[in-house]
A and B are shown apart, each in its own frame.
Chain A
Amino acid sequence: MQISICFLIDLLKSRSEIHYIQFIETKDLITMTEFTPLMSLAGGALIGLAAVVLMGLLGRIAGINGILSGLVALPNTSDWAWRAAFVLGLLGSPLAVLMLNGSLPELSVPVSPVMVGAGGVLVGIGTSLGSGCTSGHGVCGIARLSKRSIAATLTFMATALITVFVIRHVIGA
């Protein structure tokens, strides 16, 4: 087993030198990011607050994927307006942060545009099939103790972990 895995990794590495080097181009972009426990906890609490507000007032799950796909799929229905307003709020949030904070938090994308596009297509397919993303399953669903959401969250966390490992340490090593 061990030997076959090593063989597989070697094979991927040797292939990567030929095919993937130009495609990935991330090595010098991968750097440490600052550990921000308090800011992340506070930001997370705000995300939770928004989910509670949306449920308490409108009775809706704050799943970004569901809201987005509803926005694209259902124009001119009564549900359209609140989805559009929620998305407008999301789009306007940098202004709110700028006013609160004086500056915008960093945005750094350590992967090539090709990978961003490919990742985007997979995220679109996966969240549509799986009926949810980090917010819908990971926050709202787990808070409801939904079995489906717990299973979905464990699954996408695991595949994201494996994907990053493979890209950074197997192919990109």
Chain B
Amino acid sequence: MLKTVSAFAAGLIFGTGILLSGMGNPAKVLNFFDFAGTWDPSLMFVMGGALAVTFIGYRLVFRMKQPVLAASFSLPTKSDLDTKLISGAAIFGIGWGIAGFCPGGLLPVLGYGQTEPFIMLGGILAGMMLVKALTARGGDVSKLGKAARS
């Protein structure tokens, strides 16, 4: 119960941050990438603020033996670069540059009731399931499951 309430609170804080920062607005996100045109450097400040707090906060948190409400920290164990990581990131960036929404920017704006965020969500879920289906066929489910959770 306490876990669920904490996760809800974290989601609420995260979403509030997304909305206030402008990350939920594709016009602003795409302008950040448009150096040669209508450049808006705001998102640099979003990344800066988020990274500064997380960098310091994580260091304080990792001084604890375990998280307050769980037995251990669930951290990704892979440390090597591989083609899947880099090609996936490259494809993600192309999609982000086309549509202007990333998953974190998208969910908080669904409540606006506009159509585009729902189209985006449909696309993301379709893409996820496509990868899952293809990977399952190749017998590589465990690896993907691990990747999705990390």
Q: How far is the CB of B147 from chain A (nearest CB, A)?
A: 4
How far, in whole Å, are A40 and B49 apart by their CA atoms in the complex?
8
State A73–B42 Cα separation when bound (angstroms). Answer: 35
- Taking a contact as CB atoms under 8 Å apart, the answer to whether B94 and A82 are in contact is no
Smallest CB-CB separation from A155: which chain B residue? B89
Instruction: Report whether A121 and B127 are in contact in the complex, using a CB–CB cutoff of 8 Å.
Output: yes
Contacts of B38-60 to chain A: CB distance below 8 A: 38, 40-43, 45-55, 57-58, 60
B148 touches A57 (CB 8 A): no
Q: Which of A47, A60, A104 contacts B17 (CB 8 A)?
A: A47
> Which residues in B have their C-beta under 8 angstroms from that of A90?
11-12, 14-15, 18, 107-108
B126 smallest CB distance to A (angstroms):
6
Cα of A127 to Cα of B128 in the assembled complex, Å: 8
Give Cα distance in the complex from A59 to B10, angstroms. 12
With a cutoff of 8 Å between Cβ atoms, the chain A residues found around residue B73 in the complex are 55, 59
CB-CB under 8 A for A144 and B110, given A45-B17, A58-B67, A169-B37: no
In the complex, are the beta carbons of B74 and A61 less than 8 A apart? yes
Chain A 65-121 interface residues, beta-carbon cutoff 8 Å to B: 65-66, 68-70, 72-73, 79, 81-83, 85-97, 100-101, 104-111, 113, 115-121
Partner of B95, one of A107, A121, A147: A121
Q: Hey, which chain B residues are within 8 Å of A162, CB to CB?
A: 97
Q: Chain B: how many interface residues by the 8 Å CB criterion?
A: 121
Contact bitstring B83-111, A, C-beta under 8 A = 1, else 0 = 01111111111111111111111011111
Q: Are A121 and B7 in contact (CB under 8 A)?
A: no
State how many residues of chain A have any CB contact under 8 Å with chain B: 121
Among residues of B, the one whose C-beta sits closest to the C-beta of A31 is B38
Contacts of A46 in B (CB 8 A): 13-14, 16-17, 20-21
Say yes or no: A131-B127 contact (C-beta < 8 A), given A43-B23, A56-B64.
Answer: no
Chain B interface residues (CB < 8 Å from chain A): 3-28, 30-31, 33-38, 40-43, 45-55, 57-58, 60-61, 64, 66-76, 78-81, 84-105, 107-112, 114-117, 119-132, 144-145, 147-150
Known: A37-B42, A92-B111, A122-B92. 8 other contacts (CB 8 A): A45-B49, A46-B14, A47-B17, A48-B53, A64-B102, A70-B148, A91-B15, A119-B98
Seen from chain A, the residues whose Cβ lies within 8 Å of a Cβ on chain B are 29-66, 68-70, 72-73, 79, 81-83, 85-97, 100-101, 104-111, 113, 115-144, 146-148, 151-153, 155-165, 167-169
